[in-house]
Structure 1
Amino acid sequence: MWRTIHVDNLDKPWLDDKYEKMTCNAVDRSVGGLIDLDIEGFGSDKLRSYVASRSSQLKRLRLAICTNISVKALKGALKKLSCLEELELTICKFRGKNTVPLINSCPSVTTFKLNRIYQKSKCDKEALAIARSMPELRHLQLIGNNMTYDGLTAILDGCRHLQSLDLRWCYNLDNAQKLDKRLSANIKDLRRPFDSNEEFRLQTLVNATKSYAC
Protein backbone atom coordinates (compact mmCIF):
# COMPACT_ATOMS: atom_id res chain seq x y z
CA MET A 1 0.00 0.00 0.00
CA TRP A 2 0.99 3.61 -0.70
CA ARG A 3 4.03 2.72 -2.82
CA THR A 4 2.44 4.58 -5.77
CA ILE A 5 0.72 7.95 -5.25
CA HIS A 6 -1.04 10.05 -7.90
CA VAL A 7 -2.75 13.32 -6.96
CA ASP A 8 -4.06 15.99 -9.34
CA ASN A 9 -5.80 19.32 -8.82
CA LEU A 10 -6.06 20.95 -12.23
CA ASP A 11 -9.35 22.78 -11.78
CA LYS A 12 -9.62 23.77 -8.10
CA PRO A 13 -6.59 25.96 -7.23
CA TRP A 14 -8.32 27.30 -4.11
CA LEU A 15 -7.96 23.78 -2.65
CA ASP A 16 -4.18 23.53 -3.14
CA ASP A 17 -3.48 23.54 0.61
CA LYS A 18 -5.94 20.71 1.12
CA TYR A 19 -4.32 18.65 -1.64
CA GLU A 20 -0.85 19.28 -0.19
CA LYS A 21 -1.94 18.02 3.23
CA MET A 22 -3.54 14.98 1.61
CA THR A 23 -0.33 14.23 -0.29
CA CYS A 24 1.80 14.58 2.84
CA ASN A 25 -0.56 12.22 4.65
CA ALA A 26 -0.21 9.65 1.86
CA VAL A 27 3.58 9.97 1.95
CA ASP A 28 3.52 9.35 5.71
CA ARG A 29 1.42 6.24 5.19
CA SER A 30 4.02 4.87 2.78
CA VAL A 31 6.46 4.70 5.72
CA GLY A 32 9.49 5.26 3.48
CA GLY A 33 8.31 2.77 0.85
CA LEU A 34 7.12 5.27 -1.75
CA ILE A 35 8.61 4.53 -5.18
CA ASP A 36 6.32 6.41 -7.60
CA LEU A 37 4.92 9.93 -7.08
CA ASP A 38 2.80 11.75 -9.67
CA ILE A 39 1.51 15.28 -8.95
CA GLU A 40 -0.49 17.56 -11.25
CA GLY A 41 -1.66 21.14 -10.81
CA PHE A 42 -0.38 22.03 -7.34
CA GLY A 43 2.63 21.81 -5.05
CA SER A 44 4.97 24.11 -3.18
CA ASP A 45 8.60 24.16 -2.12
CA LYS A 46 7.51 22.93 1.30
CA LEU A 47 5.84 19.89 -0.22
CA ARG A 48 8.92 19.04 -2.29
CA SER A 49 11.15 19.15 0.78
CA TYR A 50 8.68 17.07 2.77
CA VAL A 51 8.54 14.36 0.13
CA ALA A 52 12.32 14.23 -0.33
CA SER A 53 12.98 13.90 3.40
CA ARG A 54 10.59 10.92 3.72
CA SER A 55 10.95 9.10 0.40
CA SER A 56 14.57 8.05 -0.01
CA GLN A 57 13.51 5.02 -2.11
CA LEU A 58 11.60 7.08 -4.71
CA LYS A 59 12.31 5.83 -8.23
CA ARG A 60 9.85 7.86 -10.32
CA LEU A 61 8.83 11.50 -9.90
CA ARG A 62 6.38 13.26 -12.21
CA LEU A 63 5.47 16.94 -11.80
CA ALA A 64 2.96 18.50 -14.21
CA ILE A 65 1.86 22.15 -14.04
CA CYS A 66 3.53 22.56 -10.64
CA THR A 67 4.17 26.25 -11.26
CA ASN A 68 4.79 27.24 -7.62
CA ILE A 69 7.89 25.10 -7.22
CA SER A 70 11.24 26.89 -7.37
CA VAL A 71 14.42 25.58 -8.99
CA LYS A 72 16.30 25.86 -5.69
CA ALA A 73 13.83 23.73 -3.75
CA LEU A 74 13.51 21.07 -6.45
CA LYS A 75 17.28 20.89 -6.88
CA GLY A 76 17.68 20.30 -3.15
CA ALA A 77 15.02 17.60 -3.23
CA LEU A 78 16.57 15.81 -6.21
CA LYS A 79 19.94 15.59 -4.46
CA LYS A 80 18.28 13.58 -1.69
CA LEU A 81 16.60 11.14 -4.09
CA SER A 82 19.59 8.93 -4.82
CA CYS A 83 17.42 6.06 -6.12
CA LEU A 84 15.58 8.18 -8.71
CA GLU A 85 15.46 6.53 -12.12
CA GLU A 86 12.74 8.53 -13.91
CA LEU A 87 12.02 12.26 -13.76
CA GLU A 88 9.27 14.08 -15.63
CA LEU A 89 8.75 17.85 -15.62
CA THR A 90 5.77 18.83 -17.77
CA ILE A 91 4.69 22.48 -18.16
CA CYS A 92 6.65 23.72 -15.16
CA LYS A 93 7.76 27.36 -14.99
CA PHE A 94 11.53 26.95 -15.31
CA ARG A 95 13.12 27.07 -18.75
CA GLY A 96 16.56 27.23 -20.40
CA LYS A 97 19.40 28.06 -18.02
CA ASN A 98 17.06 27.74 -15.02
CA THR A 99 16.52 24.07 -15.81
CA VAL A 100 20.24 23.27 -16.05
CA PRO A 101 20.80 22.92 -12.26
CA LEU A 102 17.99 20.34 -12.14
CA ILE A 103 19.49 18.36 -15.00
CA ASN A 104 22.91 18.46 -13.33
CA SER A 105 21.38 17.00 -10.15
CA CYS A 106 20.29 13.75 -11.85
CA PRO A 107 23.36 12.03 -13.36
CA SER A 108 21.98 8.52 -12.79
CA VAL A 109 18.49 9.05 -14.23
CA THR A 110 17.72 6.67 -17.10
CA THR A 111 14.40 8.26 -18.17
CA PHE A 112 14.00 12.02 -18.43
CA LYS A 113 10.93 13.88 -19.71
CA LEU A 114 10.92 17.66 -20.10
CA ASN A 115 7.72 18.76 -21.86
CA ARG A 116 6.25 22.20 -22.46
CA ILE A 117 4.47 24.51 -24.87
CA TYR A 118 6.71 25.31 -27.84
CA GLN A 119 8.25 28.79 -28.15
CA LYS A 120 10.05 30.06 -31.25
CA SER A 121 13.18 31.34 -29.49
CA LYS A 122 16.16 29.02 -29.95
CA CYS A 123 18.08 27.71 -26.94
CA ASP A 124 20.43 24.74 -26.53
CA LYS A 125 21.25 25.15 -22.81
CA GLU A 126 19.02 22.28 -21.72
CA ALA A 127 20.17 19.98 -24.52
CA LEU A 128 23.83 20.64 -23.76
CA ALA A 129 23.25 20.03 -20.04
CA ILE A 130 21.52 16.72 -20.81
CA ALA A 131 24.41 15.67 -23.06
CA ARG A 132 26.93 16.56 -20.36
CA SER A 133 25.17 15.40 -17.19
CA MET A 134 22.94 12.44 -18.10
CA PRO A 135 25.19 9.81 -19.73
CA GLU A 136 23.04 6.88 -18.51
CA LEU A 137 19.85 7.98 -20.30
CA ARG A 138 17.86 5.28 -22.09
CA HIS A 139 14.67 7.24 -22.71
CA LEU A 140 14.41 10.97 -23.42
CA GLN A 141 11.24 12.95 -24.08
CA LEU A 142 11.57 16.65 -25.00
CA ILE A 143 8.16 17.65 -26.35
CA GLY A 144 8.06 21.36 -27.23
CA ASN A 145 11.78 21.95 -26.63
CA ASN A 146 13.35 24.88 -28.50
CA MET A 147 16.77 23.29 -29.06
CA THR A 148 18.48 23.38 -32.43
CA TYR A 149 20.38 20.89 -34.58
CA ASP A 150 23.51 21.58 -32.47
CA GLY A 151 21.71 20.66 -29.26
CA LEU A 152 20.39 17.43 -30.73
CA THR A 153 23.86 16.51 -32.01
CA ALA A 154 25.29 17.05 -28.52
CA ILE A 155 22.65 14.76 -27.00
CA LEU A 156 23.44 11.97 -29.48
CA ASP A 157 27.16 12.38 -28.72
CA GLY A 158 26.77 12.45 -24.94
CA CYS A 159 23.96 9.96 -24.38
CA ARG A 160 25.24 6.85 -26.12
CA HIS A 161 22.71 4.46 -24.53
CA LEU A 162 19.55 6.16 -25.81
CA GLN A 163 16.86 3.73 -26.94
CA SER A 164 13.93 6.11 -27.35
CA LEU A 165 13.82 9.81 -28.24
CA ASP A 166 10.69 11.97 -28.45
CA LEU A 167 11.13 15.24 -30.38
CA ARG A 168 7.50 16.17 -31.02
CA TRP A 169 6.83 19.93 -31.25
CA CYS A 170 10.60 20.58 -31.46
CA TYR A 171 10.16 22.85 -34.48
CA ASN A 172 13.63 24.43 -34.37
CA LEU A 173 15.20 21.20 -35.63
CA ASP A 174 15.10 22.38 -39.22
CA ASN A 175 18.37 20.62 -40.06
CA ALA A 176 17.69 17.39 -38.20
CA GLN A 177 17.39 15.45 -41.46
CA LYS A 178 21.20 15.52 -41.56
CA LEU A 179 21.10 13.14 -38.61
CA ASP A 180 18.51 10.77 -40.06
CA LYS A 181 20.90 7.89 -40.67
CA ARG A 182 22.36 8.19 -37.19
CA LEU A 183 18.95 8.45 -35.56
CA SER A 184 17.56 5.51 -37.51
CA ALA A 185 20.56 3.35 -36.68
CA ASN A 186 20.75 4.05 -32.94
CA ILE A 187 17.26 4.99 -31.73
CA LYS A 188 14.71 2.15 -31.60
CA ASP A 189 11.72 4.40 -30.83
CA LEU A 190 11.91 7.82 -32.50
CA ARG A 191 9.21 10.51 -32.55
CA ARG A 192 9.83 13.40 -34.93
CA PRO A 193 8.72 17.06 -34.55
CA PHE A 194 5.53 16.73 -36.63
CA ASP A 195 4.43 13.29 -35.38
CA SER A 196 1.00 13.00 -33.77
CA ASN A 197 0.45 13.83 -30.09
CA GLU A 198 -2.94 12.16 -29.88
CA GLU A 199 -1.99 9.55 -27.28
CA PHE A 200 -0.13 12.02 -25.08
CA ARG A 201 -1.90 14.14 -22.45
CA LEU A 202 0.14 17.30 -23.07
CA GLN A 203 -2.60 18.93 -25.14
CA THR A 204 -5.10 18.24 -22.37
CA LEU A 205 -2.78 19.91 -19.89
CA VAL A 206 -2.23 22.85 -22.22
CA ASN A 207 -5.97 23.40 -22.50
CA ALA A 208 -6.31 23.25 -18.74
CA THR A 209 -3.61 25.85 -18.13
CA LYS A 210 -3.87 28.49 -20.85
CA SER A 211 -3.20 31.17 -18.24
CA TYR A 212 0.32 29.85 -17.62
CA ALA A 213 3.24 31.11 -19.74
CA CYS A 214 5.44 28.02 -19.49
Structure 2
Amino acid sequence: MPKPKRYVWRIKQKKQTASSSSAPPPPPPWVELPREITADILSRLGTVEILLNAQRVCSTWCNICHDPSMWRVIDMRNDEDTYMEDVFDKLCRIAVDRSQGQLLKINIEYFGNHDLLQYITQRSSQLRHLRLVSCDDILNGSLAAVAKNFPLLEELHIYLTAICTVDIEAVGRSCSQLKSFTFNDCGFRGLTRFRSLQIDVNDQALAIAVNMPELRHLALFGNTMTNEGLCAILDGCPRLESLDLRHCYSIDLKGDLETRCHQHIIDLKCPRDCTHGYEFSAQICDYNSGDDQSVWFSDYFNDYEYDYDDFDYDDFTNPFNGEYLDEDGFFW
Protein backbone atom coordinates (compact mmCIF):
# COMPACT_ATOMS: atom_id res chain seq x y z
CA MET A 1 0.00 0.00 0.00
CA PRO A 2 1.54 3.35 -1.04
CA LYS A 3 2.41 5.89 1.63
CA PRO A 4 0.25 9.08 1.82
CA LYS A 5 1.72 12.29 0.46
CA ARG A 6 3.14 14.73 2.96
CA TYR A 7 2.49 18.44 2.72
CA VAL A 8 4.93 19.70 5.28
CA TRP A 9 6.84 21.84 2.83
CA ARG A 10 3.72 23.59 1.63
CA ILE A 11 2.54 24.31 5.15
CA LYS A 12 5.90 25.80 6.08
CA GLN A 13 5.85 27.84 2.90
CA LYS A 14 2.48 29.30 3.79
CA LYS A 15 3.73 30.24 7.26
CA GLN A 16 6.74 31.97 5.75
CA THR A 17 4.52 33.88 3.36
CA ALA A 18 2.24 34.97 6.15
CA SER A 19 5.12 36.17 8.31
CA SER A 20 6.70 38.07 5.42
CA SER A 21 3.45 39.82 4.57
CA SER A 22 3.15 41.15 8.10
CA ALA A 23 6.55 42.87 7.96
CA PRO A 24 6.33 46.69 7.89
CA PRO A 25 6.96 48.32 4.51
CA PRO A 26 10.30 50.04 4.05
CA PRO A 27 10.38 53.77 4.78
CA PRO A 28 9.97 56.12 1.79
CA PRO A 29 13.32 57.06 0.23
CA TRP A 30 13.05 60.78 1.07
CA VAL A 31 13.15 60.02 4.79
CA GLU A 32 16.80 59.05 4.46
CA LEU A 33 17.78 62.46 3.04
CA PRO A 34 19.89 64.66 5.33
CA ARG A 35 17.70 66.98 7.38
CA GLU A 36 19.17 70.16 5.93
CA ILE A 37 18.48 69.01 2.35
CA THR A 38 14.90 68.11 3.19
CA ALA A 39 14.43 71.50 4.86
CA ASP A 40 15.80 73.25 1.78
CA ILE A 41 13.41 71.35 -0.49
CA LEU A 42 10.40 72.06 1.72
CA SER A 43 11.25 75.75 1.98
CA ARG A 44 10.79 76.04 -1.78
CA LEU A 45 7.15 74.99 -1.54
CA GLY A 46 5.97 78.18 0.11
CA THR A 47 4.31 78.91 3.41
CA VAL A 48 0.75 77.93 2.48
CA GLU A 49 1.74 74.67 0.80
CA ILE A 50 3.81 73.64 3.82
CA LEU A 51 1.04 74.35 6.32
CA LEU A 52 -1.79 72.77 4.35
CA ASN A 53 -0.05 69.79 2.75
CA ALA A 54 3.67 69.11 3.19
CA GLN A 55 3.66 68.76 6.97
CA ARG A 56 1.09 65.96 6.71
CA VAL A 57 3.18 63.65 4.52
CA CYS A 58 5.16 61.92 7.28
CA SER A 59 6.41 62.44 10.80
CA THR A 60 9.87 63.43 9.55
CA TRP A 61 8.49 66.23 7.42
CA CYS A 62 6.12 67.31 10.18
CA ASN A 63 9.04 67.59 12.57
CA ILE A 64 11.08 69.66 10.12
CA CYS A 65 8.08 71.89 9.38
CA HIS A 66 7.93 72.82 13.07
CA ASP A 67 11.59 73.87 13.18
CA PRO A 68 11.82 77.67 13.78
CA SER A 69 14.58 77.97 11.20
CA MET A 70 12.04 76.99 8.52
CA TRP A 71 10.09 80.18 9.21
CA ARG A 72 12.72 82.88 8.90
CA VAL A 73 11.10 83.79 5.57
CA ILE A 74 7.29 83.84 5.24
CA ASP A 75 5.65 84.43 1.86
CA MET A 76 1.85 84.73 1.94
CA ARG A 77 0.10 85.44 -1.38
CA ASN A 78 -3.68 85.34 -1.44
CA ASP A 79 -4.23 85.92 -5.19
CA GLU A 80 -7.02 88.44 -4.48
CA ASP A 81 -9.48 85.83 -3.14
CA THR A 82 -11.51 87.77 -0.57
CA TYR A 83 -13.20 84.59 0.67
CA MET A 84 -9.82 83.25 1.83
CA GLU A 85 -8.65 86.28 3.78
CA ASP A 86 -9.55 84.82 7.19
CA VAL A 87 -7.80 81.55 6.33
CA PHE A 88 -4.64 83.36 5.28
CA ASP A 89 -4.78 85.46 8.42
CA LYS A 90 -4.81 82.33 10.61
CA LEU A 91 -2.11 80.60 8.55
CA CYS A 92 0.10 83.69 8.80
CA ARG A 93 -0.23 83.76 12.59
CA ILE A 94 0.67 80.05 12.79
CA ALA A 95 3.77 80.65 10.66
CA VAL A 96 4.82 83.62 12.80
CA ASP A 97 4.38 81.57 15.99
CA ARG A 98 6.54 78.78 14.59
CA SER A 99 9.35 81.22 13.83
CA GLN A 100 9.74 81.79 17.58
CA GLY A 101 11.18 85.26 17.06
CA GLN A 102 13.54 84.27 14.22
CA LEU A 103 11.45 85.83 11.42
CA LEU A 104 13.61 87.98 9.12
CA LYS A 105 11.47 88.53 6.02
CA ILE A 106 7.72 88.51 5.41
CA ASN A 107 5.55 89.22 2.38
CA ILE A 108 1.77 89.70 2.70
CA GLU A 109 -0.39 90.10 -0.41
CA TYR A 110 -4.12 90.81 -0.73
CA PHE A 111 -5.09 90.24 2.91
CA GLY A 112 -4.18 91.46 6.37
CA ASN A 113 -5.27 94.19 8.77
CA HIS A 114 -3.94 96.23 11.66
CA ASP A 115 -4.41 93.39 14.16
CA LEU A 116 -2.35 90.99 12.03
CA LEU A 117 0.38 93.58 11.52
CA GLN A 118 0.54 94.15 15.25
CA TYR A 119 0.61 90.39 15.90
CA ILE A 120 3.59 90.00 13.56
CA THR A 121 5.64 92.89 14.88
CA GLN A 122 5.11 91.98 18.54
CA ARG A 123 6.68 88.56 17.87
CA SER A 124 9.35 89.47 15.30
CA SER A 125 11.87 91.90 16.75
CA GLN A 126 14.53 90.58 14.33
CA LEU A 127 12.48 91.51 11.23
CA ARG A 128 14.63 92.94 8.42
CA HIS A 129 12.26 92.93 5.43
CA LEU A 130 8.53 93.77 5.29
CA ARG A 131 6.46 93.77 2.09
CA LEU A 132 2.76 94.65 1.93
CA VAL A 133 0.78 94.39 -1.32
CA SER A 134 -2.82 95.62 -1.65
CA CYS A 135 -3.59 95.20 2.05
CA ASP A 136 -6.83 97.18 1.97
CA ASP A 137 -7.60 96.67 5.65
CA ILE A 138 -4.28 98.10 6.81
CA LEU A 139 -5.28 101.72 7.28
CA ASN A 140 -3.50 105.01 7.79
CA GLY A 141 -1.63 105.00 11.09
CA SER A 142 -1.24 101.22 11.33
CA LEU A 143 2.48 101.28 10.56
CA ALA A 144 3.05 104.20 12.93
CA ALA A 145 1.50 102.18 15.75
CA VAL A 146 3.88 99.23 15.33
CA ALA A 147 7.07 100.77 13.89
CA LYS A 148 8.88 100.72 17.23
CA ASN A 149 8.61 96.91 17.28
CA PHE A 150 11.01 96.34 14.36
CA PRO A 151 14.07 98.53 14.99
CA LEU A 152 16.28 96.37 12.75
CA LEU A 153 14.14 96.82 9.64
CA GLU A 154 16.26 97.40 6.53
CA GLU A 155 13.68 97.13 3.73
CA LEU A 156 10.06 98.28 3.63
CA HIS A 157 8.06 97.80 0.43
CA ILE A 158 4.48 99.06 0.20
CA TYR A 159 2.38 98.49 -2.92
CA LEU A 160 -1.20 99.72 -3.40
CA THR A 161 -1.68 99.96 0.37
CA ALA A 162 -2.75 103.09 2.23
CA ILE A 163 -0.17 104.71 4.48
CA CYS A 164 0.09 108.34 5.48
CA THR A 165 2.72 110.89 6.39
CA VAL A 166 2.51 109.88 10.05
CA ASP A 167 3.42 106.28 9.09
CA ILE A 168 6.44 107.41 7.09
CA GLU A 169 7.65 109.66 9.90
CA ALA A 170 7.27 106.93 12.53
CA VAL A 171 9.07 104.33 10.42
CA GLY A 172 11.90 106.76 9.73
CA ARG A 173 12.34 107.58 13.41
CA SER A 174 12.07 103.99 14.66
CA CYS A 175 13.97 102.14 11.90
CA SER A 176 17.35 103.84 11.73
CA GLN A 177 18.81 101.02 9.61
CA LEU A 178 16.25 101.40 6.81
CA LYS A 179 18.09 101.32 3.48
CA SER A 180 15.33 100.54 0.96
CA PHE A 181 11.82 102.04 0.85
CA THR A 182 9.11 101.45 -1.75
CA PHE A 183 5.79 103.24 -1.72
CA ASN A 184 4.13 102.58 -5.06
CA ASP A 185 0.64 103.63 -6.06
CA CYS A 186 -1.31 104.31 -9.25
CA GLY A 187 -0.10 107.10 -11.50
CA PHE A 188 -2.06 110.39 -11.43
CA ARG A 189 -2.34 113.14 -14.03
CA GLY A 190 -4.11 116.48 -13.72
CA LEU A 191 -3.29 117.04 -10.05
CA THR A 192 -3.88 120.81 -10.10
CA ARG A 193 -7.26 119.94 -8.61
CA PHE A 194 -5.55 118.46 -5.57
CA ARG A 195 -3.87 121.79 -4.95
CA SER A 196 -7.16 123.68 -5.30
CA LEU A 197 -8.56 121.31 -2.66
CA GLN A 198 -5.62 122.25 -0.39
CA ILE A 199 -4.18 118.75 -0.46
CA ASP A 200 -0.41 118.76 0.06
CA VAL A 201 1.00 116.65 -2.76
CA ASN A 202 4.52 116.83 -1.31
CA ASP A 203 3.85 115.78 2.29
CA GLN A 204 5.04 112.18 1.79
CA ALA A 205 8.19 113.26 -0.06
CA LEU A 206 9.04 115.77 2.69
CA ALA A 207 8.48 113.12 5.38
CA ILE A 208 10.91 110.81 3.58
CA ALA A 209 13.49 113.58 3.20
CA VAL A 210 13.40 114.49 6.89
CA ASN A 211 13.13 111.03 8.47
CA MET A 212 14.97 108.59 6.17
CA PRO A 213 18.44 110.05 5.58
CA GLU A 214 20.19 106.67 5.21
CA LEU A 215 18.16 105.44 2.23
CA ARG A 216 20.04 103.85 -0.66
CA HIS A 217 17.03 102.74 -2.70
CA LEU A 218 13.73 104.60 -3.08
CA ALA A 219 10.75 103.80 -5.32
CA LEU A 220 7.78 106.19 -5.48
CA PHE A 221 5.93 104.89 -8.53
CA GLY A 222 2.83 107.03 -9.14
CA ASN A 223 3.54 109.54 -6.37
CA THR A 224 1.88 112.97 -6.43
CA MET A 225 4.97 115.01 -5.53
CA THR A 226 6.23 117.95 -7.54
CA ASN A 227 9.75 119.25 -8.13
CA GLU A 228 9.70 120.68 -4.62
CA GLY A 229 9.28 117.23 -3.10
CA LEU A 230 11.96 115.72 -5.34
CA CYS A 231 14.47 118.43 -4.37
CA ALA A 232 13.75 117.78 -0.71
CA ILE A 233 14.46 114.05 -1.17
CA LEU A 234 17.73 114.74 -2.97
CA ASP A 235 18.77 117.07 -0.13
CA GLY A 236 17.63 114.81 2.71
CA CYS A 237 18.80 111.45 1.28
CA PRO A 238 22.33 112.11 -0.01
CA ARG A 239 23.25 108.40 -0.20
CA LEU A 240 20.55 107.44 -2.70
CA GLU A 241 21.78 105.03 -5.37
CA SER A 242 18.48 104.19 -7.10
CA LEU A 243 15.30 106.24 -7.52
CA ASP A 244 12.11 105.18 -9.32
CA LEU A 245 9.94 108.15 -10.35
CA ARG A 246 7.85 106.46 -13.02
CA HIS A 247 4.32 107.84 -13.35
CA CYS A 248 5.17 110.80 -11.10
CA TYR A 249 3.58 113.15 -13.61
CA SER A 250 3.71 116.28 -11.47
CA ILE A 251 7.51 116.29 -11.72
CA ASP A 252 9.00 118.36 -14.53
CA LEU A 253 12.40 116.75 -14.81
CA LYS A 254 14.30 119.31 -16.86
CA GLY A 255 17.27 121.61 -16.62
CA ASP A 256 19.33 121.70 -13.44
CA LEU A 257 17.08 119.26 -11.60
CA GLU A 258 17.47 116.64 -14.32
CA THR A 259 21.23 117.15 -14.38
CA ARG A 260 21.42 116.81 -10.61
CA CYS A 261 19.45 113.57 -10.65
CA HIS A 262 21.60 111.98 -13.34
CA GLN A 263 24.82 113.05 -11.60
CA HIS A 264 23.93 111.68 -8.17
CA ILE A 265 21.61 108.71 -8.86
CA ILE A 266 23.17 105.59 -10.38
CA ASP A 267 19.87 103.93 -11.29
CA LEU A 268 17.29 106.59 -12.19
CA LYS A 269 13.85 105.88 -13.64
CA CYS A 270 12.17 109.03 -14.90
CA PRO A 271 8.41 109.81 -14.81
CA ARG A 272 7.75 108.79 -18.39
CA ASP A 273 10.11 105.84 -18.60
CA CYS A 274 8.82 102.49 -19.80
CA THR A 275 6.98 100.35 -17.24
CA HIS A 276 7.70 97.07 -18.99
CA GLY A 277 8.44 94.40 -16.41
CA TYR A 278 6.63 96.20 -13.59
CA GLU A 279 4.91 93.44 -11.62
CA PHE A 280 1.63 95.29 -11.02
CA SER A 281 -0.82 97.16 -13.20
CA ALA A 282 0.65 100.44 -14.45
CA GLN A 283 -2.76 102.12 -14.44
CA ILE A 284 -2.98 105.90 -14.85
CA CYS A 285 -5.77 107.96 -13.27
CA ASP A 286 -6.23 111.00 -15.53
CA TYR A 287 -8.08 113.96 -14.00
CA ASN A 288 -7.26 116.47 -16.73
CA SER A 289 -10.72 116.46 -18.31
CA GLY A 290 -13.54 118.62 -16.93
CA ASP A 291 -13.43 121.71 -14.75
CA ASP A 292 -16.11 121.05 -12.16
CA GLN A 293 -14.68 119.38 -9.08
CA SER A 294 -18.03 117.87 -8.16
CA VAL A 295 -18.20 116.29 -11.63
CA TRP A 296 -14.66 114.98 -11.13
CA PHE A 297 -15.57 113.13 -7.94
CA SER A 298 -18.83 111.90 -9.45
CA ASP A 299 -17.09 110.59 -12.55
CA TYR A 300 -14.44 108.92 -10.42
CA PHE A 301 -16.94 106.79 -8.55
CA ASN A 302 -19.21 106.19 -11.52
CA ASP A 303 -16.36 104.55 -13.40
CA TYR A 304 -17.01 101.41 -11.36
CA GLU A 305 -19.74 99.04 -12.45
CA TYR A 306 -20.93 96.71 -9.73
CA ASP A 307 -22.32 93.31 -10.51
CA TYR A 308 -24.35 92.40 -7.45
CA ASP A 309 -24.59 88.79 -8.62
CA ASP A 310 -20.96 88.49 -7.57
CA PHE A 311 -21.99 88.98 -3.97
CA ASP A 312 -24.41 86.04 -3.89
CA TYR A 313 -22.48 84.10 -1.30
CA ASP A 314 -23.37 82.29 1.92
CA ASP A 315 -20.69 82.46 4.60
CA PHE A 316 -22.20 79.48 6.35
CA THR A 317 -21.43 77.22 3.38
CA ASN A 318 -17.84 78.34 2.95
CA PRO A 319 -15.62 75.30 3.62
CA PHE A 320 -12.53 77.52 3.89
CA ASN A 321 -13.58 79.99 6.55
CA GLY A 322 -11.50 80.24 9.70
CA GLU A 323 -13.77 78.00 11.75
CA TYR A 324 -12.32 74.97 9.98
CA LEU A 325 -8.68 75.59 10.95
CA ASP A 326 -7.11 74.17 14.08
CA GLU A 327 -4.10 75.73 15.81
CA ASP A 328 -1.66 73.80 13.60
CA GLY A 329 -3.24 74.99 10.38
CA PHE A 330 -5.14 71.80 9.60
CA PHE A 331 -8.68 71.73 8.28
CA TRP A 332 -11.09 69.67 10.31
Same fold (TM over 0.5): yes
Specify which of 95, 99, 123 is matched with residue 30 of structure 1.
Answer: 99
Q: Which has the higher helix share?
A: 2
* Residues 26 and 161 of structure 1, relative CA distance in 2, 3 Å threshold: same
2:183/2:219 contact within 8 Å kept: yes
| 1:188 equivalent in alignment to 2:266 | yes
How far is 1:93 from its partner? 2.4
| 1:202 equivalent in alignment to 2:280 | yes
| 1:6 equivalent in alignment to 2:78 | no
How far is 1:175 from its partner? 4.4
Provide the C-alpha distance between the structure 1 equivalents of 2:104 and 2:96, rounded to a whole number of angstroms.
10
Write out the 4+ residue segments of structure 1 that deviate beyond 6 Å after TM superposition: none
1:100/1:125 contact within 8 Å kept: no
Question: Deviation string for 1:64-106 (max 9, x for gaps)?
Answer: 10010123332122211011000011111235x4554445444
> Structure 2, unaligned stretches of length 5 or more?
1-69, 196-200, 285-302, 305-332
How far is 1:8 from its partner? 1.4
Specify which of 136, 144, 162 is matched with residue 67 of structure 1.
Answer: 136
With normalisation by structure 1, the TM-score equals 0.89
| 1:48 equivalent in alignment to 2:117 | yes
Corresponding position of 1:112:
181
Provide the C-alpha distance between the structure 1 equivalents of 2:224 and 2:230, rounded to a whole number of angstroms.
10
Once the two structures are overlaid, the 10-residue window that deviates more, 103-112 or 187-196, is 103-112
| 1:80 equivalent in alignment to 2:149 | yes
Taking CA–CA contacts closer than 8 Å with sequence separation of 6 or more, which of the two structures ends up with the larger relative contact order? 1
Question: Deviation string for 1:110-169 (max 9, x for gaps)?
Answer: 100000012334600011111100000000000000100010000000101000001011
Question: Deviation string for 1:31-79 (max 9, x for gaps)?
Answer: 1111110111010111011100111111000001001012333212221
How far is 1:186 from its partner? 1.0
1:10/1:42 contact within 8 Å kept: no
1:113/1:142 contact within 8 Å kept: yes
Q: Percentage identity across aligned positions?
A: 39
Structure whose CA Rg is larger: 2
> Structure 1, unaligned stretches of length 5 or more?
none
| 1:140 equivalent in alignment to 2:226 | no
SS in 2 for 1:196: coil
| 1:130 equivalent in alignment to 2:208 | yes
